[in-house]
């Protein structure tokens, strides 16, 4: 399990190694055919900042070679804001007082219809807070059954599950699972996640192994930018990605680098990442792993999303509501975080086409299940 492997990597030592990288290390990484984790550290280090143009060119080339000139579109569907955890940065934190809702089967069906009216989406990401008593595996299986006729590609972003539960949901039509480790800094993890099941670092971290063992087709991973030194966190994530690729090589992988957005509770990020740094990180990941999907959500503002879509990103969300029932049932309820890009899906698709790319609404078909 990766939580054991992670013990081989010291946080402070990794931070120091990244800080020590030089221009020569960056040059070596840019010329390498298969990057080591030291090469990756060079590309995310401050020494790589002057190389942004070269990194962008390489990232664009690798992305076009592997994916073509296409951007895949997806939309999240929040089913509940009920949560037993107390993540200090999240609006759904159990200590925040507001009305909690859990969508009923009929309401889930209404939301699916409302999403289909927004655009020809086939990629749906089902999202819940973490409350197994009201949104456990039975509830998720039922939700998949309801959503299945409307969308050909169903993914979930929910609490980490057991191997058996991932396998069961995969048999029920699940294609992908996204889970954010938030931070790989084991010592400080509990400061941000003081209560509930999410406070168990190893259970969350090893969830990716359980997904792999269950045969989940696509695994999405990420750290929350704003908690700890982002360079060290993404280096740990790159190691995690390579570990997973070695073991679960049939699986497709995706990464996402969400920057913290304003949310109820008013937590202020410890670390602020600039647009240039987020671009550097995106290029570094593409150069490190040519095959990984890189997803950019509506947390980011239109200007950044429009630029990065031709330089390394492969999928974008569009038209997102980050509150349960936000498309139809409860249009005014509480958001998990503030959205940065509130363009309609059609406007996002127009922006993709304006850059000479194709907007792809569907990249999976039920026939493959």
Interface residue with ligand SF4, options 73, 90, 169, 292 (CB under 6 A): 90
Cross-strand pairs, 359 = 71
What's the min distance (Å) between Cβ of 127 and ligand SF4? 8
Count the neighbouring beta carbons within 10 Å of the beta carbon of residue 53. Answer: 9
Give the helix/strand (H/E) hosting 128: strand 123-128
Residue placing its CB nearer to ligand SF4 in the complex, 108 or 227: 227
Q: Is 93 in the site for ligand SF4 (CB under 6 A)?
A: yes
How many residues are recorded in the chain? 369
Instruction: Choose the binding region for ligand SF4 from 39-47, 85-93, 232-240, 267-275 (rule: CB under 6 A).
Output: 85-93
Q: In the chain, what is the straight-line distance between the N-terminal and C-terminal CA atoms, in Å?
A: 28
Q: How far is the CB of 100 from ligand SF4 (least distance, A)?
A: 11
CA–CA distance, 11 with 6 (Å, rounded to integer): 10
Residue 45 has which token pair?
């280090």
Query: In Å, how far from its chain's centre is CA 35?
Result: 23
Residue 198 in the binding site for ligand SF4 (CB under 6 A): yes
Q: Measure the CA–CA gap between 144 and 137, rounded to whole angstroms.
A: 10
Does the protein bind ligand SF4 through residue 87 (CB under 6 A)?
yes
90 or 352: CB nearest ligand SF4: 90
Measured from the CB atom, is 30 or 338 closer to ligand SF4? Answer: 338
Compute CA distances 203 → 35, 106, 177, 253, whole Å.
29, 33, 15, 20
Provide, rounded to whole angstroms, the least separation between the CB of residue 151 and ligand SF4: 22
Please report whether residue 83 would count as binding ligand SF4 according to CB under 6 A: yes
* Residue 92 within binding range of ligand SF4, rule CB under 6 A: yes
The DSSP code for 342 is: -
Taking Cα atoms as reference points, which of 6, 12, 13 lies closest to residue 242?
6
Q: Which is nearer to ligand SF4, 107 or 178 (CB)?
A: 178
Question: Is the CB of 72 or the CB of 137 nearer to ligand SF4?
Answer: 137
CB of 320 to ligand SF4, least distance (A): 15
**Smallest separation (angstroms) from ligand SF4 to the CB of 308:** 24
DSSP letter at 78 equals E
Instruction: Please identify, using beta-carbon distances, which residue of 130 and 229 lies nearer to ligand SF4.
Output: 130
Residue span binding ligand SF4 (CB under 6 A) among the ranges 40-48, 81-89, 249-257, 304-312 = 81-89
Restricted to residues 120-149, the positions that interact with ligand SF4 (CB under 6 A) are: 129-130
In the range 208-237, which residues lie near ligand SF4 by CB under 6 A? Answer: none
Distances (CA, A) of 277 to 44, 259, 272, 304: 8, 11, 10, 12
360: β partners: 72
What string of DSSP letters covers 237-288?
HHHHHHHHHHH-TTSEEEEE-PBP---TT-PPPSS---HHHHHHHHHHHHHH
In terms of CB distance, is 119 or 326 closer to ligand SF4? Answer: 326
What are the residues binding ligand SF4 (CB under 6 A)?
A: 83, 85, 87, 90, 92-93, 129-130, 198
């Amino acid at each position: 399990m990766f939580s054991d492997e992670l013990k081989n990597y010291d946080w402070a030592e990794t931070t120091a190694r990244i800080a020590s990288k030089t221009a020569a290390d960056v040059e070596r990484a840019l010329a390498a055919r298969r990057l080591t984790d030291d090469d990756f550290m060079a590309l995310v280090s401050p020494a790589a900042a002057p190389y942004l143009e070269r990194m962008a060119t390489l990232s664009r080339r690798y992305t076009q070679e592997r994916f073509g000139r296409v951007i895949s579109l997806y939309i999240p569907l929040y089913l509940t804001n009920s949560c037993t955890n107390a993540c200090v940065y999240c609006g759904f934190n159990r200590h925040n007082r507001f009305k909690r809702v859990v969508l009923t089967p009929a309401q889930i069906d209404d939301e699916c219809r409302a999403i289909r009216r927004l655009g020809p989406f086939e990629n749906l990401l089902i999202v819940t807070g973490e409350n197994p008593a009201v949104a456990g595996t039975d509830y998720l299986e039922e939700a998949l059954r309801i959503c299945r006729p409307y969308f050909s590609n169903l993914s979930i972003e929910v609490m980490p599950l057991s191997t058996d539960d991932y396998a069961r949901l995969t048999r029920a039509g699940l294609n992908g699972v996204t889970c954010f480790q938030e931070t790989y800094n084991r010592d400080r993890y509990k400061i941000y996640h003081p209560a509930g099941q999410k406070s168990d670092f190893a259970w969350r971290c090893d969830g990716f192994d359980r997904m792999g063992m269950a045969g989940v087709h696509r695994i999405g991973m990420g750290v929350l930018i704003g908690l700890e030194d982002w360079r060290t966190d993404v280096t740990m994530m790159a190691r995690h990605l390579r570990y997973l690729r070695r073991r679960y090589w049939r699986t497709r992988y995706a990464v996402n680098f969400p920057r913290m957005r304003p949310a109820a509770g008013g937590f202020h990020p410890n670390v602020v990442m600039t647009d240039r740094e987020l671009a550097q990180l995106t290029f570094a990941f593409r150069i490190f792993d040519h095959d990984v999907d890189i997803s950019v959500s509506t947390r980011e503002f239109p200007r950044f999303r429009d630029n990065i879509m031709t330089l390394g990103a492969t999928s974008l969300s569009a038209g997102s509501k980050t509150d349960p029932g936000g498309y139809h049932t409860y249009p005014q309820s509480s958001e998990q975080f503030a959205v940065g890009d509130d363009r309609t899906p059609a406007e996002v698709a127009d922006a993709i086409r304006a850059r000479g790319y194709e907007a792809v609404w569907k990249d999976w078909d039920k026939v493959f299940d």
